[in-house]
Amino acid sequence: QVQLVESGGGLVQAGGSLGLSCAASGHTFSRYAMGWFRQAQGKEREFVAGINRSGGSTYYASSVKGRFTISRDNAKNAVYLQMNSLKPEDTAVYYCAADSSPPGGSYYSDRTYDSWGQGTQVTVSS
């Protein structure tokens, strides 16, 4: 498993932007598909965005498509989530996750991922 550490969360006004980073340990980062999930208070964890091993394919929840962008830098062992036009309903703890299994799993399911970060809080005020 890979160790993941998120950073970049904070408080932002509605309509603002925030960028999250996730740093991964180890030397085989390019072998992991990566995802971002979030969990709002009192709600279940939900998929936000996913990216394949090369970074050539990305996937988004309909609620964030067009506003959020996932990217990765395999040389830096990092994955990013740029969040624009933030809304109060984006308030949640955001987690990055890594999938070490062979390609074919669903990016949208948290069961696909076998390593998780500790999460970073994002709060969007109205």
Residues 84-116 have pLDDT tens digits of: 999 999 999 999 999 988 888 889 999 999 999
Specify the pLDDT at position 41.
Answer: 96
Percent pLDDT > 70 in the chain is 100
pLDDT of 58 reads: 97
Q: Tokens 């076998």 — which residue?
A: 114
Per-residue pLDDT band at 121 (split at 50, 70, 90): very high
Q: If DSSP codes are grouped into helix, strand and coil, which group holds residue 110?
A: helix
- Tokens linked to 95: 């987690």
Round to whole Å and give the CA distance between 11 and 51.
Answer: 26
Q: What is the pLDDT of residue 78?
A: 97
pLDDT at 52: 96
